[in-house]
Amino acid sequence: MGASQLCATRLAPRSLASPGSSAGVAPTVNGLFFGDGDNTRYQLYAVSQYGSRLYFYLDNPVLYVALVISHSFNDNVFDRRGRATAYIKDAGWNNRPASQLYNSEFSEFILSCGAASYTWKQAYAYRPGGVGAFVSDHLGPAGGGIAPPGIASASSFAWNINNYEAKAPGDRLWDMYVHGSQDTNWKSPWLGSGDYVIGLDGYPASGAIGYSTQFEYEWPMVYEWSVDLSAVCAGNSLYLIAGSSHHSPSKIGDVEDDPFGAPDLGDSEAKLTDFGDLPAAYGTLQADDGARHTIVIGDAYLGGNMPDAETDGQPSADALGDDLAGNDDEDGIVFLTPLAPGRQALIQVTAAAQGYLSAFVDWDANGTLDPVTLISATGPAPVAPGTLGDTHLPAAGAYTLRVGVPAHATGLMYSRWRLTNLPDQGGNSPTGRASSGEVEDYALASIGDRVWHDLDADGAQGPGEPGMADVAVRLLDGSGVPMLDADGDPITTMTDRDGNYTFPGLPPGQYRVEFVAPGGYTFTQQGRGCDPDLDSDPDAITGRTPGVTLAPGQTRVDLDAGLVATPTSVGLAAFRAGVRGRSAVVSWETGSELDILGFYLYRSDASGGQRLVLAEGFIPARATGAATGERYEFEDGDIEGGDAYYVLEVQTASGTNATEPVRVWLRPQGWALRLLPIGRR
pLDDT (tens digit per residue) in 606-665: 666 677 888 778 898 888 777 788 899 999 887 777 788 888 888 876 667 777 778 888
What's the mean pLDDT in 413-439? 96
The C-alpha atoms of residue 605 and residue 617 are separated, in whole angstroms, by: 19
- Specify the higher pLDDT residue, 33 or 310: 33
- Specify the higher pLDDT residue, 321 or 365: 365
The C-alpha atoms of residue 125 and residue 224 are separated, in whole angstroms, by: 12
Quick check: 80 and 58 in contact, CB under 8 A? no
- Residue 670 pLDDT grade (very low, low, confident, very high; cuts 50, 70, 90): very low
What's the mean pLDDT in 163-167? 60
pLDDT at 357 over 70: yes
Comparing 60-74, 170-184, 316-330, 594-608, the range with the smallest average pLDDT is 170-184
Domain 449-565: state its class.
Answer: mainly beta
The C-alpha atoms of residue 616 and residue 619 are separated, in whole angstroms, by: 7
Pairing of strands 257-259, 238-246: antiparallel
Comparing 175-184, 200-209, 284-293, 557-566, the range with the smallest average pLDDT is 175-184
Comparing 189-198, 494-503, 655-664, the range with the smallest average pLDDT is 189-198
pLDDT of res. 44: 87
pLDDT (tens digit per residue) in 550-576: 999 999 999 999 998 765 544 678 888
Helix, strand, coil percent content, the chain, rounded in steps of 5: 5, 35, 55
Q: How high does pLDDT run on average in the chain?
A: 83
pLDDT (tens digit per residue) in 527-539: 887 788 889 999 9
**Residue ranges per structural domain of the chain:** 38-259, 272-443, 449-565, 569-678
Count how many Cα atoms sit within 13 Å of the Cα of residue 255 in the half-sphere of its side chain.
11
Quick check: 133 and 30 in contact, CB under 8 A? no
pLDDT of res. 22: 42
Total length of the chain: 681
pTM assigned to the model: 0.71
pLDDT of res. 432: 96
Question: Please, what is the Cα angle at 532 between 530 and 538, to 5 degrees?
Answer: 115
pLDDT of res. 182: 54
- Residue 347 pLDDT grade (very low, low, confident, very high; cuts 50, 70, 90): very high
- CA dihedral 291→297→300→303, nearest 10 degrees, is 80
pLDDT at 74 over 80: yes
pLDDT (tens digit per residue) in 437-495: 999 999 999 999 999 998 878 888 988 888 999 999 999 999 999 999 999 999 999 99
pLDDT of res. 213: 80
What's the mean pLDDT in 67-83? 83
What's the mean pLDDT in 350-366? 96
Comparing 48-57, 341-350, 376-385, 614-623, the range with the smallest average pLDDT is 614-623
Residue 287 carries which side chain, given as an amino acid letter? Answer: A
pLDDT of res. 616: 74
pLDDT at 541 over 80: yes
pLDDT at 174 over 60: no
Which of 297, 290, 372, 364 minimizes the C-alpha distance to 333? Answer: 372
**For every residue of 596-615, which 3-state class applies, written as one string?**
EEEEEEEEECCCCCCEEECC
The C-alpha atoms of residue 58 and residue 568 are separated, in whole angstroms, by: 70
The C-alpha atoms of residue 328 and residue 346 are separated, in whole angstroms, by: 23
Pairing of strands 292-294, 433-434: parallel
The C-alpha atoms of residue 227 and residue 396 are separated, in whole angstroms, by: 27
Q: Which residues pair with 564 in a beta bridge?
A: 522
Identify the H or E element spanning 58. Answer: strand 53-59
pLDDT at 496 over 90: yes
- Specify the higher pLDDT residue, 508 or 583: 508
Comparing 171-175, 263-267, 311-315, 485-489, the range with the smallest average pLDDT is 171-175
Which of 413, 386, 542, 553 minimizes the C-alpha distance to 476? Answer: 542
- Residue 19 pLDDT grade (very low, low, confident, very high; cuts 50, 70, 90): very low
pLDDT at 267 over 70: no
What's the mean pLDDT in 121-148? 91
The count of other CB atoms within 10 Å of the CB of residue 656 is: 11
Phi, psi of 159 (to 5 degrees): -60, -50
Asked if CATH classification 3.40.50.300 holds for the domain at 569-678, the reply, yes or no, is no
Which of 555, 441, 475, 449 minimizes the C-alpha distance to 508? Answer: 555
